[in-house]
Amino acid sequence: MIQLFHVSKIFGPTVALKDIDLRIRTGEFVFVTGPSGAGKTTLLRLIFGAEPPTEGQILINGINLSRISGTKLHLLRRKIGFVFQDFKLLSRRTVFQNVALALEVTGEKGSVVRKKTHQMLRAVALAPKEEAYPIELSGGEQQRVAIARAMINDPLILLADEPTGNLDPEITREIMVLFRSINLRGTTVVIATHNRELLRNTDQRIILLHKGKALE
Amino acid sequence: MIAKLRLWATYLKVALSSILYNRLIYAISVGTIAISLLILGAFVLLSVNVRDWIQGWGQTLSISVYLKDGIDEGTRERIRTAVSTLQGAEIKGFISKEKALQDMKGMLGSQAGLLDGLTWNPLPASFEVAFKNVDRAKFEPKRIKEALEKVAGVDEVQYSEQWLDQFEGLLYVLKIAGFALGGLLCVAVLFIITNTIKLAIYSRRNEIEIYKLVGATDWYVKAPLLIEGALQGALGALIALVILSAVHLVLSFKAVQVFGLPFLEFVFLSSSYALGILFLGLVLGLLGSFIAIGRFFKF
């Protein structure tokens, strides 16, 4: 469960988010949309704990982010997967190493890391390319690597910021199918997008951000 | 415990991979650190040897009694007797004028031809005297010098302590210069390491962001950088010690003798000094990394 109580975020003179009250239930699939600068990315970053809100409280599964110590925040982040428009893959690491990284940072055993990484790469249909470097992959493949990395720790929540922004419509459909299957396994999925096509054919909940305010 | 060891193995792997990737920057940095620590090590080596020489000379107090030219055998024997009666004195040898000239030619080596033009031998004959089992605190070379110079036939008396006083002064200057230079070099090494790690952080800021993104602890990001700094410092110190030892090996074949004093043995740094330099490199490396990391992350 993600809960936001009267959350505002102000950057200097700019009000990015204003008095947001929001509940996203466990296992829900939610789109956050709005024009550029509406505060979509800021909202996801606040939920991820990358930024503190200027005002208000954020609770993730009952844990108040403003009360959590910096050293514990990384533990919470392991339960939140994050996928970006620009994939954020390590160019010097192979597909396998990029995905394995999320497990390695937890100090997991090498054999467990290898087994789970192979499983995850099979799940996103990238097993044949595990030794390839990101630069050798298409945009859709890179995004699947990023999703595999975000999912390998079995997160409770998957946040995706414009995950299809750099992809063509065919690949976008493939990626959305992947998100849907992740959600069906019980993971809460929150996707920030301004892709109208994506929203037109969905029956999922849509949160519209406009001038920092949230509208359902 | 095993999980922690596994993490440390990962930190080391990340650090080594970063060093390999930025190998040119690291090679320059390690080279500069090695040169700085080499200069520092050379100063320590010189100070240690000068100190040892002075201590060695101090343990064998000696005087040279120079005789006037043209004295007869009887006068020379009276001088020998006067010297022998001094407490703890032992005449190590009589150096005739001819032997003194011969020794001088030997010391000059290939330049000995300079003495060929001499029509007479200007060097005096002398008794070389060593004092054994004397209390150094109670030893008064000045008084002995004055007493012996009153004996008929004695031209001049020189004692090793005159040199010791000068060398002790030199040692003091060396110490002060060593501290000042050492301090400056340590600051320079710190500066080099801090900047190399800062460059490493800049070149890896995307990587660091991704580490944070996947839930890495702050320590997971910082530990490899600290290892990189420590490795740089230690490697620089190790190279400095290897070069210093090679230079010492070459120099130690050349025994040095100064003003008739005992032969000088050129010793290398003791293991504690060598370990000290290695440890200094390591600590400077860690400190440099700490400073660089501190500018980017809060500890």
DSSP B216: -
- Chain A environment of B13 (Cβ under 8 Å): none
Asked if A70's CB is within 8 angstroms of B213's CB, the reply is no
The vertex-A104 CA angle with A99 and A105, nearest 5°, equals: 110
Q: Are B21 and A92 an interchain contact pair (Cβ–Cβ within 8 Å)?
A: yes
* Per-residue pLDDT at B299: 47
CB contact under 8 A, A75 and B209: no
Average pLDDT over residues A111-132: 92
End-to-end CA distance of chain B: 23
pLDDT mean over B98-111: 81
Q: Does any CB of chain A come closer than 8 Å to the CB of residue B203? A: no
Interface subset of B 219-278, CB within 8 angstroms of A? 220
Q: State the best of A74, A76, A84, A151 to mutate against chain B, taking most chain B CBs within 10 Å.
A: A74
Query: Which residues of chain B does A110 touch, with a Cβ-Cβ cutoff of 8 Å?
Result: 6
Mean pLDDT score, B40-50:
83
Who wins on pLDDT, B3 or A202?
Answer: A202
For residue A216, pLDDT over 80 is answered with no
Region B75-83 average pLDDT = 88
A36-89, pLDDT tens digit by residue?
A: 888 899 999 999 988 899 999 999 988 898 888 777 788 888 899 999 888 899
Cβ distance A110 to B207 less than 8 Å, yes or no, reads no
A104 touches chain B (CB under 8 A): yes
Rounded average pLDDT over B61-75: 86
Confidence of residue B133 (pLDDT cuts 50, 70, 90): low
Residues in B touching A105 (Cβ below 8 Å): 211, 214-217, 220
| Residue-wise DSSP of A116-182 | HHHHHHHHTT-GGGTTS-GGGS-HHHHHHHHHHHHHTT--SEEEEESTTTTS-HHHHHHHHHHHHHH
Q: What is the pLDDT of residue B255?
A: 55
Mean local confidence (pLDDT), A123-131: 91
Chain A residues lying within 8 Å of B212, measured CB to CB = 74, 77
Q: Which residues of A touch B210 (CB under 8 A)?
A: 88-90, 101
Residue A27: pLDDT band (50, 70, 90) is very high
**Is the predicted pLDDT of residue B31 greater than 80, yes or no?**
yes
Beta pairing class for A14-24 and A2-11: antiparallel
Q: Where are the alpha helices (DSSP H) in B137-257?
A: 141-149, 160-203, 205-213, 218-251
Q: Any chain B CB within 8 A of the CB of A107?
A: yes
- Report the run of H or E that residue A113 belongs to, with start and end: helix A110-123
Instruction: Tokens for A24, please give them.
Output: 């996203």
Mean pLDDT of chain B: 82
Rounded to a whole number of angstroms, the distance from the CA of B1 to the nearest CA of chain A is 11
- B215 → closest Cβ in A70, A77, A88: A77
Mutate to test the interface with A, among B2, B18, B214, B297 (most CBs of A within 10 A): B214
| DSSP letter string, B47-101 | HHHHHHHHHHHHHSEEEEEEEPTT--HHHHHHHHHHHHTSTTEEEEEEE-HHHHH
Q: How does residue B136 score in pLDDT terms, banded at 50, 70 and 90? A: low
pLDDT at A114 over 90: yes
ipTM above 0.85, yes or no: no
Read off the pLDDT band of B260 (50, 70, 90). very low
Q: With 50 as the cut, is the pLDDT of residue A9 above it?
A: yes
Would you say residue B115 has pLDDT above 80? Answer: no
Whether the per-residue pLDDT at B230 is higher than 90: the answer is yes
Picking from A77, A84, A104 by the largest number of B CB atoms within 10 A of its own CB, the best residue to mutate is: A104
Nearest Cα of chain A lies from the Cα of B230 at a distance, in angstroms, of: 22
Selection from A59, A39, A44, A31 nearest residue A207 by Cα = A31
The dihedral sign for the CA sequence A16, A21, A26, A32: negative
Q: Confidence band (pLDDT; 50, 70, 90) for B60?
A: low
B162: pLDDT confidence band, cut at 50, 70 and 90?
Answer: low
pLDDT at A213: 79
The residue among A105, A112, A113 with the most chain B CBs within 10 A of its CB, best to mutate, is A105
pLDDT average, residue stretch B128-135: 75
Lowest-confidence region among A136-150, B11-25, B70-84, B249-263 = B249-263
Residues 10 through 69 of chain A touching chain B, CB cutoff 8 Å:
none
Q: Is there a contact between A70 and B216 if contact means CB atoms under 8 Å apart?
A: no
Q: How far is A13 from chain B (nearest CA, A)?
A: 26
Of A108-122, B7-21, B53-67, which range is least confident? B53-67
Nearest CA in chain B to A103: B214
- In this structure, of B90-94, B136-140, B171-175, B280-284, the range with the lowest mean pLDDT score is B136-140
Query: Which band of pLDDT confidence, cut at 50, 70 and 90, is reported for residue B58?
Result: low
pLDDT for the residue B57 = 64
Interchain CB distance below 8 Å, A88 and B3: no
Name the DSSP letter for residue B123: P
At B234, which amino acid appears? Answer: A
How far is the alpha carbon of B220 from chain A, nearest alpha carbon, in Å? Answer: 7
Range B168-174 average pLDDT? 76
Phi, psi of A197 (to 5 degrees): -60, -40
CB contact under 8 A, B215 and A104: no
Which residue from A71, A101, A107 is facing B3, i.e. has the nearest CB?
A107
Would you say residue B91 has pLDDT above 50? Answer: yes
